[in-house]
Structure 1
Amino acid sequence: MTPFSLHPQLDADTHFVADLPLCTVRLMNDARYPWLVLIPRRDAIREIYELDSSAQQQLWQETTQLGELLMTVSGGEKLNIGALGNMVPQLHMHVIARRSDDEAWPGPVWGVGTAEPHDNEALTVLVDTLRMKIAELPSYSY
């Protein structure tokens, strides 16, 4: 079995937040949207069906837990979850908290405007907050 490696584009577009039992959790570097990306730490997986049934259940559990957490932290109105992978083939789940006043509402966030990187101070506060909340999840372990 080859070790897990993160696709270079996911590495370039996101900031590390935490590791859950299955997924590494990363924050998309676009301050316009509260946007997490969950990547199962399994090498050469492109599709959800390539995970065994236990890992599929774990992926859904982690996705829904992080979705609820993101909605709570951000005050979002609607949660968008997707696994598109058209540009980056490595399996990853987008978890995005949306608001009716965001730039892309009510459409999808992809291809709308230009990403606005998090400034360092806001990034530190947000990542620290997310880590604190993730540490409180029942499935989280150090």
Structure 2
Amino acid sequence: MFALDSRLQQDCLLVGDFPLCRLLLMNDSNYPWFILVPRREEVSELFQLDADDQRQLWQETTLLAEILKDTFAADKMNVATLGNVVSQLHMHVIVRRRDDVAWPAPVWGRHPAQPYAGQQVGQVIDKLRLVLTEDFQFAGEPA
């Protein structure tokens, strides 16, 4: 049974689900920073997914990156799977802009996270509602 790593639960906000991946929003308003987590048990590496899941992960990742680039006016998209702190396989999809606080350096460990305040999360989710496909299920909405 799939269970989300406790560190991801602590650091992120649930957005919803693609066919394979759970979509999370990192609770750091410095960047539109999303995380895709394949809903598979005990997977820490890409090669541990079967071929169909690998293709699906890549489709969901590239779709999300394209949508985020347009929706949040990215200068560059950072897409990576690291797993040095959280071993559960997860894909970071981060909108980078030349005016963000860490540009051009990596976002990891550069600045303290600035949690979203008040209606900011709702504004991010509302932007996504306009552009995500019917293959996406927002959290808390009926299937």
Please, what TM-score do these two structures have when normalized by structure 2?
0.92
Aligned-pair CA distance for 1:138:
6.0
Equivalent residues, number? 138
In the aligned structure 2, how far is the partner of 1:6 from the partner of 1:128? 24
Q: Mean Cα displacement is larger for which, 77-86 or 97-106? A: 97-106
Instruction: Name the structure 2 match of 1:129.
Output: 127
Which SS does the other structure have where 1:105 is aligned? coil
CA contact (8 A) 2:16 2:136 kept: no
CA contact (8 A) 1:17 1:25 kept: yes
Instruction: Name the structure 2 match of 1:35.
Output: 33
Please, what TM-score do these two structures have when normalized by structure 1?
0.92
CA contact (8 A) 1:70 1:97 kept: yes
- Per-residue CA deviations over 1:29-80 (Å, capped at 9, x if unaligned) read 0000011000000010000000001100000000000111111221111000
CA RMSD, aligned part only? 1.3
In the aligned structure 2, how far is the partner of 1:113 from the partner of 1:60? 29
Letter in 2 for 1:16: L
**Stretches (4+) displaced over 4 A:** none
Q: Kindly, what percent of the aligned residue pairs are identical?
A: 46
Does residue 97 in structure 1 map to residue 95 in structure 2? Answer: yes
Gaps of 5+ in 1: none
Q: Mean Cα displacement is larger for which, 55-64 or 124-133? A: 124-133
Instruction: Name the structure 1 match of 2:63.
Output: 65
Q: Answer 1 or 2: which has greater helix percent.
A: 1
Letter in 1 for 2:54: Q
Instruction: Name the structure 2 match of 1:53.
Output: 51
Q: Paired residue for 1:113, among 91, 111, 114?
A: 111
In the aligned structure 2, how far is the partner of 1:9 from the partner of 1:79? 23
